[in-house]
Amino acid sequence: MNLTVYRDYSDGLVALGNLVRENGETTFCYNQEYLARTDAAAVSLSLPLREKPFSERATAALNTEGNLLSEQGFEPAPYIADELQEEMLPRLEVLSEI
């Protein structure tokens, strides 16, 4: 599965990169044309501009943003889900006592 990521500029939508799901792994890579733009900006602080593709672990930030990618067949990384569960569990326990 391939999902193109766009950025909205004053001159229209520009394809900035692609999320690719192959063999159970999700990677992200910026398009060469986007990297050549003088106004190119990173999609995330964890995904700085570079030519080399980013690994599954690096793309986890994109995978949790509003669960947008889950609708496209991309699932949140398990370690992110575990971290969120650990953070929320004490709060849920307090609520259950009310």
Q: Which pLDDT tens digit goes with each residue over 55-65?
A: 887 777 665 54
- How many distinct structural domains can be found in the chain? 1
For residue 58, give its domain range.
2-96
* Rounded distance between C-alpha atoms, residue 77 and residue 80, angstroms: 6
17 touches 6 (CB < 8 A): no
For residue 55, what pLDDT is reported? 84
For residue 94, what pLDDT is reported? 59
Residue 80 has pLDDT above 50, yes or no: no
For residue 59, what pLDDT is reported? 76
Residue identified by tokens 């370690």 is 79
Q: Please give the structure tokens belonging to residue 67.
A: 């669960």
- CA atoms 30, 60, 73, 91: torsion sign: negative
Q: Please give the structure tokens belonging to residue 32.
A: 């060469």
Report pLDDT digits (tens) over 30-56: 999 999 999 999 888 778 899 999 888
Cβ atoms within 10 A of the Cβ of 20, count? 16
* Rounded distance between C-alpha atoms, residue 20 and residue 96, angstroms: 40
Query: Between these two residues, 66 and 90, which has the higher pLDDT value?
Result: 90
Average per-residue pLDDT for the chain: 74
* Rounded distance between C-alpha atoms, residue 96 and residue 71, angstroms: 30
For residue 8, what pLDDT is reported? 87
Residue 76 has pLDDT above 70, yes or no: no
